């Protein structure tokens, strides 16, 4: 079991300019690393946040051949940290237009330890009139992904995945001790459900939950909730931002707490009910 370490959840407001997004995220990552964070996570769509498909696809090369992804890998190596790039849009095909919403976990050597494609697509009609159909552009992933690192076993998810408890139960039963939920939550759903669901996932699985978020009014016209947070296995909010401005929060991760909590409430040992 690793020694306790500091983790950070980065909150940003990504826009249409990838270089500006990189600069904004990198500055906060460097500040968190300077305070001692060894694991740092950024939000969903860190590299580019754009709801207009044509403009999004015009801005990106095919596949993972994006300089900005290489830059985040290099940053992890330079700072000697584990870095979760919460997600980036990855073009899979241009005709028809299909992309992946993909997370990248980099080790302190800059090597990619894991990739995860968001499984659950945000296709909803909200009470305030907002309509989202993520599946019209993004192809859902098919694999549950966790990665064993020198710090912890880390389970990956993205945003709308948060509403599907069975995903986190499977991650925890496969050994995940930290569950990551990089997000770009809408304001109505964020106000109503963000903290409640995050704390529920921590309690249900006896895991730490690290939830970095986008926040504020974005160039593409959407508004996101912010309120990034880190939650302990018993459900306590260890650190959070009570706003939607760029910043970060820090908390100590002690894996002994995960194992103690799972011994006290051994719900993961029960078989799933069909």
Could you tell me if 199 and 234 are in contact, meaning their C-beta atoms sit under 8 angstroms apart?
Answer: no
The residue-averaged pLDDT of 79-107 equals: 97
Assess if residue 273 is contained within a domain.
no
Does residue 112 carry a catalytic annotation? no
User: What confidence score (pLDDT) does residue 148 get?
Assistant: 97
User: What confidence score (pLDDT) does residue 274 get?
Assistant: 59
- Cα–Cα distance measured from residue 75 to residue 90, given in angstroms and rounded to the nearest whole number: 20
CATH number at residue 59: 3.60.110.10
Give the burial class of 193: count Cβ atoms within 10 A of its Cβ; 0-12 exposed, 13-18 middle, 19 or more buried: middle
The residue-averaged pLDDT of 154-179 equals: 98
> C-alpha angle with apex 124: 119 to 127, nearest 5 degrees?
150
Model confidence band, residue 127 (pLDDT cutoffs 50, 70, 90): confident
Assess if residue 158 is contained within a domain.
yes
Assess if residue 271 is contained within a domain.
no
Assess if residue 274 is contained within a domain.
no
Active-site residue among 3, 98, 118, 177?
118
Does residue 159 carry a catalytic annotation? yes
Model confidence band, residue 132 (pLDDT cutoffs 50, 70, 90): confident
The residue-averaged pLDDT of 227-244 equals: 98
247's tokens: 């910043």
The residue-averaged pLDDT of 125-140 equals: 83
User: What confidence score (pLDDT) does residue 41 get?
Assistant: 99
Assess if residue 272 is contained within a domain.
no
Instruction: Provide the number of structural domains found in the chain.
Output: 1
Q: What domain range includes position 59? A: 5-265
Question: Is pLDDT above 90 for 133?
Answer: no
Q: What is the mean pLDDT of the chain?
A: 96
Question: Is pLDDT above 80 for 77?
Answer: yes
Assess if residue 162 is contained within a domain.
yes
Assess if residue 48 is contained within a domain.
yes
The residue-averaged pLDDT of 220-248 equals: 97
Could you tell me if 179 and 155 are in contact, meaning their C-beta atoms sit under 8 angstroms apart?
Answer: yes
Active-site residue among 38, 44, 180, 249?
44
Does residue 118 carry a catalytic annotation? yes
Could you tell me if 100 and 89 are in contact, meaning their C-beta atoms sit under 8 angstroms apart?
Answer: yes
Active-site residue among 38, 159, 177, 180?
159
Assess if residue 270 is contained within a domain.
no
């Amino acid at each position: 079991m690793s020694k306790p370490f500091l983790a950070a959840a980065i909150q940003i407001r990504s826009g249409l300019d990838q270089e500006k997004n990189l600069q904004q995220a990198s500055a906060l990552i460097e500040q968190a690393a300077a305070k001692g964070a060894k694991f740092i996570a950024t939000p969903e769509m860190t590299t580019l946040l754009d709801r207009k498909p044509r403009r999004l696809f015009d801005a990106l090369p095919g596949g993972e051949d994006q300089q900005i992804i290489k830059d985040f890998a290099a940053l992890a190596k330079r700072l000697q940290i584990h870095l979760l790039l919460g997600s980036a849009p990855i073009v899979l095909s241009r005709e028809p237009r299909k992309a992946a919403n993909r997370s990248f976990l980099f080790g302190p050597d800059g090597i990619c330890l894991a990739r995860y494609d968001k499984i659950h697509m945000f296709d909803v009609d909200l009470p305030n009139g907002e309509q989202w159909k993520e599946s019209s552009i993004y192809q859902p992933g098919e694999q549950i992904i966790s990665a064993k690192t020198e710090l912890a076993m880390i389970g990956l998810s993205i945003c709308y995945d948060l509403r599907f408890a069975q995903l986190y139960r499977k991650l925890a039963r496969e050994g995940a001790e930290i569950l990551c939920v990089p997000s770009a939550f809408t304001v109505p759903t964020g106000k109503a459900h963000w903290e409640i669901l995050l704390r529920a996932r921590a309690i249900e699985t006896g895991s730490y939950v690290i939830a970095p978020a986008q926040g504020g009014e974005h160039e593409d016209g959407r508004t996101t909730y912010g309120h990034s947070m880190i939650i302990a296995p018993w459900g306590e909010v260890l650190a959070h931002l009570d706003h939607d401005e760029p910043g970060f929060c820090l908390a100590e991760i002690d894996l002994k707490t995960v194992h103690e909590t799972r011994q006290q409430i051994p719900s993961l040992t029960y078989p799933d009910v069909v």
